Structure 1
């Protein structure tokens, strides 16, 4: 198998060298060139024919955002990974770059203590993304807790079947969304399309670092008829609100009396992620049971698979994004191939499906916004 050809674009010589050396030890990757700014990169792309481009955000002459916009008409499918600083300015620019057509991003290592540690961080963060976006299978590092059994990948272009729907008379009381690679753009398409009078809360775990999640929430809040905010300890979860897990914290829901509130923790990462989708899904199912609607969107890895198993075991519903509209069909792909999805949909259709299920006529008198409250070790409905 041929090696993955990577072009590194950064105006800092030390960063170009750092990334080149970090990638050099991987036998599947070949650095085919470097460029000091976007203008030079646009000239080099047809010369070196890269499979993946890593792109600094802030550069002279032509910055990363402008470069992504310039290359997309000619190279619509070329994966571009932004290399950004973990600052508010870097986070804003990264979201702008993703909106302009970048595929993914990593943050530059800062205050790690040595060049060797910086290279290790780059290898851990960048190499799996390069391989995934180049179409190579990435074997996850073994986790401390058992992981789901591997599911063989479906042939590209093959039809994906959904598990038959069991909507019945259970209208969802909450929508829980898990998303990773490609998520900011997916959420920008989905959340503003939900109606202002949505009668249930929405909670989201998006794999992003601190500060980036706040900026994402602020951006979505400006675009959406619903209130979108970053989760904080004790925050009340109510219908018509969208709550995003903050970077570096698992977000879970807890019942306090008759109210449901946000709780945050820094328990060990799950599926190599913090925040992770599975802890949030588990907490939602514990409160809402069969009235949970889980949604798995584009993302690398299999975070959310165990959580979707819990949703289905409780009698809840699961929607998954289809392969064609996903940047990476990892998270939704695992869920679909495990037979856990009630429906597999292209991204533009998911908001309408959520709305349809939330507003579906039921044959019972349940109040959609109420969680299931355990009583005598059994789940009963609150009406």
Structure 2
């Protein structure tokens, strides 16, 4: 279901989605109240929900939609402003699965190949995840232009065979590196909230979450409130300090380097990797090079396979890699790919990840 007060936007998004043979738009409505009524009449896997609408806006409608159908996947859609970024992150804390940044004009929207690809991929990933959770067949047909973009799905991972786990490093880590994407903000809040209760590790934590720039600024503030420790959007040349959290800014890869006795963060706008910038793989590779056996990497929920190759580099350097399990992931793409490639020492429910980090961080 597409929910937007603009008939033009609804029409454009519907055509983009139905251009993929595995997607069918069963309802297109102009506000949250109409969306609630439509939810009673149709079987819906995914809702693309605008934030700013008359009568009932997206943030008001969200909890009511989830109350009616708790397993429905909701993608918040908004133009990229600080206010909308704040609202979108709040929506994800309330149960939305994802967000998407809408172009600011109808012309940009209709000609935006990147927006179309992101919209279609997120709807398919979330819809497929819901259908698999319900034991129903997930659509697999893809359009020719999407064939050029590999999308690792939970279905393909289950077909790839059992996961082989590695022995974790016996060394205490000096760095904790976390990668996440779809469903990542909620997962990060959960892990950091649990770590706060267990006792905050003395090691620095660096995070790459797939997000545009405005969102990562807001995310850092939310993380700091949840974690109860200093958290910031990284700046080029930041000296890495223990017990703090650094988040890669949108549109910049974040890597870590040595500068004398100090470790510093460097930002770059190198080519996107796995169709992402920031990407997890460059961060993980730099961690492997600098820390080797004294690295702990965590791959949380997300579509695609970013982090799997970098995770393997860390594992082959003697470090420890863990991944979120399928049952607790919004989309088991990134963690599933990392597990299936053979990089992991553990594949854990989200609720067990903080405890694993805590034990590792406090090894003697």
TM-score, structure 1 normalization: 0.85
- For the pair 1:129 / 2:117, whether they are aligned, the reply is no
Provide the secondary structure at the position in 2 that maps to 1:22: helix
Contact 1:22 1:122 in 2 (8 A): no
Whether the aligned pair in 2 keeps the contact of 1:131 and 1:138 (CA below 8 Å) is no
Distance 1:15 1:115 in 2: 8
Aligned: 1:336 with 2:329: no
Q: Distance in 2 between matches of 1:104 and 1:151?
A: 20
Where do residues 58-73 of structure 1 align in structure 2 (5 Å cutoff)?
Answer: 58-73=52-67
Go from structure 1 to structure 2 and tell me whether the alpha carbon gap of 1:33 and 1:226 turns closer, same or farther (over 3 Å shift): same
Note the 1:258-277 alignment, pairs <5 A: 258-277=261-280
Offset of residue 223 of structure 1? 1.9
CA distance in 2, matches of 1:39, 1:81: 17
How far does residue 34 in structure 1 lie from its aligned partner after superposition?
Answer: 1.1
State which drifts further: 30-39 or 85-94: 30-39
Aligned mate of 2:259, from 256, 275, 294: 256
Alpha-carbon spacing, 1:309–1:36, altered in 2? closer, same or farther (3 Å): same
Q: CA deviation at 1:334?
A: 0.8
Deviations 1:146-181, CA, capped at 9 Å, x for gaps:
999x9942169x9x655142332x111100000000
Select the structure that is richer in helix.
Answer: 2
Query: Does residue 99 of the first structure (1) align with residue 93 of the second (2)?
Result: yes
Q: Does 1:284 align with 2:284?
A: no
Instruction: Give the distance between the partners of 2:94 and 2:188, measured in 1 at CA.
Output: 15
Aligned counterpart for 2:310 among listed residues 290, 307, 310: 307
Find the counterpart in structure 2 of residue 371 from structure 1: none
Contact persistence 1:178–1:297 (CA under 8 A): yes
Provide the rounded CA distance (Å) in 2 between the counterparts of 1:253 and 1:112: 40
Q: How far apart, in 2, do the equivalents of 1:147 and 1:68 lie? A: 28
Q: Which runs of 5+ in 1 are unaligned?
A: 1-6, 362-383
Aligned length: 348
Q: In structure 2, what is the Cα distance between the partners aligned to 1:52 and 1:341?
A: 31
What residue in structure 1 maps to residue 168 of structure 2?
Answer: 166
Q: Residues of 2 paired with 1:94 and 1:199: CA distance?
A: 31
State the structure with more CA Rg: 1
Q: CA deviation at 1:23?
A: 2.0
Distance 2:30 2:352 in 1: 41
Matches for 1:3-82 after TM superposition, within 5 Å: 7-82=1-76
Cα deviation code 1:268-307 (max 9, x no counterpart): 1000000000000111111111111010000000000110
Deviation per residue, 1:316-368 (Å, 9 max, x gap) = 0011101111000110111112221101111111111101011012xxxxxxx
For residue 80 of structure 2, what is the aligned residue in structure 1? 86
Aligned counterpart, 2:185? 184
Which runs of at least 4 in structure 1 moved beyond 6 Å after TM superposition? none
The 3 A distance-change label for structure 1 pair 305 and 87 is: same
What is the SS of the residue equivalent to 1:32?
Answer: coil
Aligned CA-pair RMSD: 2.4
